[in-house]
Amino acid sequence: AQSVAQPEDQVNVAEGNPLTVKCTYSVSGNPYLFWYVQYPNRGLQFLLKYITGDNLVKGSYGFEAEFNKSQTSFHLKKPSALVSDSALYFCAGNDYKLSFGAGTTVTVRA
């Protein structure tokens, strides 16, 4: 079985600063990991995925994520955050059916 956890309920950063949203996973076998973003009153939008290959995965809207097998982590990153990045972010793992973390609310202040 595969599960993911997001240790932070909220992340607050200033615009222009780096943004990191943390995710850890537990899995038996190869992990399949995803990041989604949810804007208010909207459905979830796919940002990026890790299946195999390079540990640094690039996705939509300038986001990237680093897969770290030794730390069982898949943190989402953006070098320079924008106010428009303020949203709810979900890490997810796919063990036949997507399992989601509890979500992290990101607030980027101007």
Partner 1 sequence: NAGVTQTPKFRILKIGQSMTLQCTQDMNHNYMYWYRQDPGMGLKLIYYSVGAGITDKGEVPNGYNVSRSTTEDFPLRLELAAPSQTSVYFCASTPERTSNYGYTFGSGTRLTVV
Between residues 15 and 38, which has the closer beta carbon with respect to partner 1?
38
Residues paired with residue 90 on neighbouring β-strands, in sequence order: 36
The structure tokens 């932070």 sit at 8
Site string for partner 1, 7-46 (x = CB under 8 A): --x----------------------x-x-x----xxxxxx
The yes or no reply on residue 74 touching partner 1 (CB under 8 A) is no
Q: What is the DSSP letter of 83?
A: G
Cβ of residue 94: shortest distance to partner 1, in angstroms?
A: 4
CA proximity to 20, closest of 110, 91, 93, 92: 91
The tokens of 40 are what?
A: 């208010």
Q: What is the DSSP letter of 17?
A: S
Give per-residue burial for 45-57: e unless 16+ CB within 10 Å, then b: eebbbbeeeeeeb
Cβ of residue 51: shortest distance to partner 1, in angstroms?
A: 4
Q: What is the DSSP letter of 63?
A: -
- Within 39-58, which residues bind partner 1 (CB under 8 A)? 41-46, 49, 51
The yes or no reply on residue 61 touching partner 1 (CB under 8 A) is no
Cβ of residue 62: shortest distance to partner 1, in angstroms?
A: 17
Cβ of residue 69: shortest distance to partner 1, in angstroms?
A: 17
